[in-house]
Amino acid sequence: MNQQTLQRLEYDKIKEKLKGYALSYIGQRHVEEMVPMTGVKELRKKLDEVAEAKALLEHGASVPIPSLEGIERILDLLGKDHVFNVKDLGHIHQFLTSCAQLIKYMAAKANAAPHVTSFATAMSPLTRLKGEIENSIWRGQVMDTASKDLAKVRKRIVVCEERLKSKLAALMGRYRSILQEHVISTRNGRYVIPIKKEYRKQVTGSVLDESASGQTVYVEPSDISQLQFELEALRGEEEREVTKVLMALSALADEYSRELHVNVETVGIYDFLFAKAKYALAIGGSNVQINEQGFMRLREARHPLLGREMVPLNFETGFRYKSLIITGPNTGGKTLTLKTVGLLTLMVQSGLLVPVQEGSLFSIFRHIAVEIGDGQSLEHALSTFSAHIHNVIDILRMTDSSTLVLIDEMASGTDPGEGVGLSIAILEELHKRGATIVATTHFNEIKNFAAATPGFENARMEFDTQTLQPLYRLRIGEAGQSYAFSIALKIGLPNEIIERSREITANGITRTGRLGEFAAEVDVTGQAANSVHAEPSLVLLPAWQPDQSDEPQTPKTETKQEAATEAVRQPQPDTDKTLEPGDEVFVSYLGKSGVVYEKEDAKGNIVVLIQNQKVKLQRKHISQNLKE
């Protein structure tokens, strides 16, 4: 999947959120390595696994995922003849104890969650290794029972220490009057007595230390020197016996190196799986249906980073159309719709449950191509339009029938006339390749193109015309508008400017003799005299009633596009002839035939009925169909 696509749809933020639910280093590593997949069977399996794990958590189950504390270092040293210390073996024992609990738990849940519990069948309890560690180590110490030789040495140490303490007690009584304090101390592991400095020579022995003030010297009496040497020798022997025990346990752990690795990897899989389940609970994620044919039906969808703050989105494509053109006012939710559809698709293809109504339908795509944001680069001196075209070129390189294309603000950043032409040509090419397209625009020409072209459909973001506030709901089957005049008037733009704007929009701009005086003068050939700006058409589309059938659309010929292309080559229509209601006419730039519904008004506009839609057009765009 294209890295730029993942970045623009904020896929990394989803991974960062998910990572917070993983407890182990392996679970977090799985999150870091997570990428969208394209295999339907594999995805179906992973989605069902997460759904089962989520169900276990919903029923209040506490899943005993073993801790992997200290295990990473141990795995690295297994099989290298390394002697593990007591702490390492304690980590192994704790891990194996937790593994036994996990295996038992999964066996009990086999019927309720067959997919989830199947991973535990690969785990080994390693009873022998666990038992040997239990018999040898307790509370961070190697026990006397770990070996017979160790037990013998420790008994001799106890006897030696008792003799030494008895001798020290006698010496403390003998030198009571010259002691700085009545306390037996140790220096470098050897017993000493604190003698006042001025009486040092009264005690036979070696000075091992003195106080910071110099008033006290710590003397090892010669009477106990031999016993101390004997005790040190015994402790050295004890250390050797402890090492033998640790070596034996380490060798046994090496024997089970493969099983330990499998157990650790399985625990990492469970950690990753239940992290996805916990995240699904956090965002209200549900299991979905998937296909490879481009069919999508999202119900009550929400952007996972917005949650309950977002108005739920209902979206579908692939049944009667594969290309959806969304219109509506700025900040009305058009871009959020694109991002929601794109990000949820990426999440589903990553095996994640998404915040939609249970049973929503998603298509699996090999490519997801995104053009959202202006992508300007000061470093490369790219304008908004140049950056847009560069991104479109990249999209065209990858697009095939298994591509989801998301394009925000078609025809922006350049001359509207040329931008519209380019945008329609790009949409045609993407549609020809079989891509699933969702695009946003403000331009009527693109809306008209979508209304007239098979495989395309219009949609709009709902807008409250009373409060002039966006409702953030997507309505498919209706073309929207930008409500620029209403919003500008509410904000405070003078009414006379608004009225002049409406006039210019309706009639276009034609310069006359005086600067600032404009009129829409059209000559007999249909060309605007001294035209400064081409006259736009105004299309009024009523609410469109969609076909209730969910059957996939049957292949349609491109006769409408061909007709539109042929119409461009035709000469300008004869505007001298008066058209009456009921006359059959042809609209060249739409490539469509229709019937005159209302006569030409004072501004040269005629209402034409095209496929049960009333379209208000300029007379110059219309020619009469002559019957033979």
Query: What's the pLDDT score for residue 413?
Result: 64
Query: What's the pLDDT score for residue 354?
Result: 97
Of the ranges 270-279, 558-567, 574-583, which one carries the lowest mean pLDDT score? Answer: 558-567
Do the beta carbons of residue 604 and residue 579 sit within 8 Å?
no
CA gap 76, 247 in Å, rounded: 17
Average pLDDT over residues 281-301: 96
**Coil, helix or strand for 183?**
coil
Of the ranges 227-241, 451-465, 476-490, which one carries the lowest mean pLDDT score? Answer: 476-490
CA gap 291, 304 in Å, rounded: 22
Q: State the amino acid at position 116 in one-letter form.
A: V
According to CATH, the topology of domain 146-235 is MutS, DNA mismatch repair protein; Chain A, domain 3 (1.10.1420)
What single DSSP character describes residue 620?
A: G
Higher-pLDDT residue of 533 and 504 is: 504
CA gap 461, 481 in Å, rounded: 9
Average pLDDT over residues 560-588: 61
Average pLDDT over residues 243-271: 96
CA gap 259, 352 in Å, rounded: 29
Query: What's the pLDDT score for residue 411?
Result: 62
- The phi, psi pair for 614, rounded to 5°, reads -85, 120
Label the pairing between strands 361-363 and 289-291.
parallel
H-run or E-run covering 532: strand 531-533
- The phi, psi pair for 349, rounded to 5°, reads -70, -5
Spell out the alpha helix ranges (H) of 399-531: 416-432, 444-452, 484-491, 495-507
Query: What's the pLDDT score for residue 397?
Result: 92
Q: Which burial class, exposed, middle or buried, applies to 143 when counting CB atoms under 10 A from its CB (0-12, 13-18, 19+)?
A: middle
Tell me: domain 289-493, CATH 3.40.50.1980, correct? no
CA gap 19, 292 in Å, rounded: 29
CA gap 302, 308 in Å, rounded: 8
179-184 long-range contacts, CB within 8 A, separation 24+: 180/211, 180/215, 180/216
CA gap 129, 194 in Å, rounded: 49
Q: Can you give the three-state secondary structure of 219-250, one letter per residue?
A: EEEHHHHHHHHHHHHHHHHHHHHHHHHHHHHH
Residue 378 has pLDDT above 90, yes or no: no
Residue 241 has pLDDT above 50, yes or no: yes
Query: What's the pLDDT score for residue 383?
Result: 58
Those residues whose C-beta lies under 8 Å from the C-beta of residue 150, and which sit 6 or more positions away, are 142, 144, 238, 241, 242, 244, 245
pLDDT band at residue 557 using 50, 70 and 90 as cut-offs? very low
CA gap 234, 26 in Å, rounded: 44
Residues in the chain: 628
Those residues whose C-beta lies under 8 Å from the C-beta of residue 145, and which sit 6 or more positions away, are 135, 136, 151
DSSP 128-160: HHHHHHHHHEETTEE-GGG-HHHHHHHHHHHHH
**Coil, helix or strand for 458?**
strand
CA gap 316, 321 in Å, rounded: 9
Label the pairing between strands 436-440 and 323-327.
parallel
According to CATH, the topology of domain 559-624 is SH3 type barrels. (2.30.30)
Spell out the domain ranges in the chain. 20-126+256-283, 146-235, 289-493, 502-536, 559-624
CA gap 344, 324 in Å, rounded: 17
Higher-pLDDT residue of 571 and 200 is: 200
For 393-437, the pLDDT digits (tens) are 889 999 999 999 999 987 666 666 777 888 899 999 999 999 999
pLDDT band at residue 468 using 50, 70 and 90 as cut-offs? low
User: Could you give the percent of the chain with pLDDT greater than 90?
Assistant: 50
Query: What's the pLDDT score for residue 415?
Result: 67
Q: How would you label 366-380 residue by residue, b for 16+ Cβ within 10 Å and e otherwise? A: ebbbbbbebebeeee
Query: What's the pLDDT score for residue 543?
Result: 35
CA gap 320, 296 in Å, rounded: 11
Higher-pLDDT residue of 495 and 562 is: 495
**Coil, helix or strand for 613?**
strand
SS3 content of the chain, % helix, strand, coil (to 5): 45, 20, 35
CA gap 12, 9 in Å, rounded: 8
Do the beta carbons of residue 470 and residue 462 sit within 8 Å?
yes
Structure tokens at 107: 């066996």
CA gap 493, 415 in Å, rounded: 25
Query: What's the pLDDT score for residue 93?
Result: 96
What single DSSP character describes residue 307?
A: G
For 582-600, the pLDDT digits (tens) are 788 888 767 778 888 888 8
For 135-187, the pLDDT digits (tens) are 999 989 999 999 999 999 999 999 998 999 899 888 888 888 888 888 888 88
H-run or E-run covering 466: none
Write down the mean pLDDT value for the chain: 83
Q: Give bridge partners of residue 377 from the DSSP assignment.
A: 382
